[in-house]
Amino acid sequence: MPAYARGLLDRLVAIGAISDAAEREAQTAALWTALRDAGRIPFAHADTAVFLHRGAASSVAVAGDHTGWSPAALTRQGASTLWARVVSLPE
């Protein structure tokens, strides 16, 4: 996995591990706003994309050409409302 994607996933895991719910939500909001404002949702570079979702859900999936239109699950990041899936795409 490319370093930039690993860095984002490490940050998502760290946010998910914050025990204080208010602090976890504040960190979630700050990251989400930064990514949204930078046009980085999905977070993509070269042949790798990190599909992201923010919100309360029991499951989240993405489907497209890269999955043969079969839903592919995103993983909830700890106790946060952040979900992610890393996908390698053909160039």
Cis peptide before 2 (omega within 30 of 0): no
* pTM confidence score: 0.88
pLDDT at residue 88, rounded to an integer: 87
| DSSP3 helix / strand / coil % (the chain, rounded to 5) | 35, 25, 35
Share of the chain above pLDDT 90, in %: 76
Measured between alpha carbons, how far is 49 from 39 in angstroms, rounded to an integer? 13
Over residues 46-91, the pLDDT tens digits come to 888 999 999 999 999 999 988 999 999 999 999 999 999 999 887 6
Confidence check: pLDDT of 23 > 70: yes
Cis peptide before 71 (omega within 30 of 0): no
Residue position matching structure tokens 């946010």: 15
Distance linking the first and last C-alpha atoms of the chain: 16
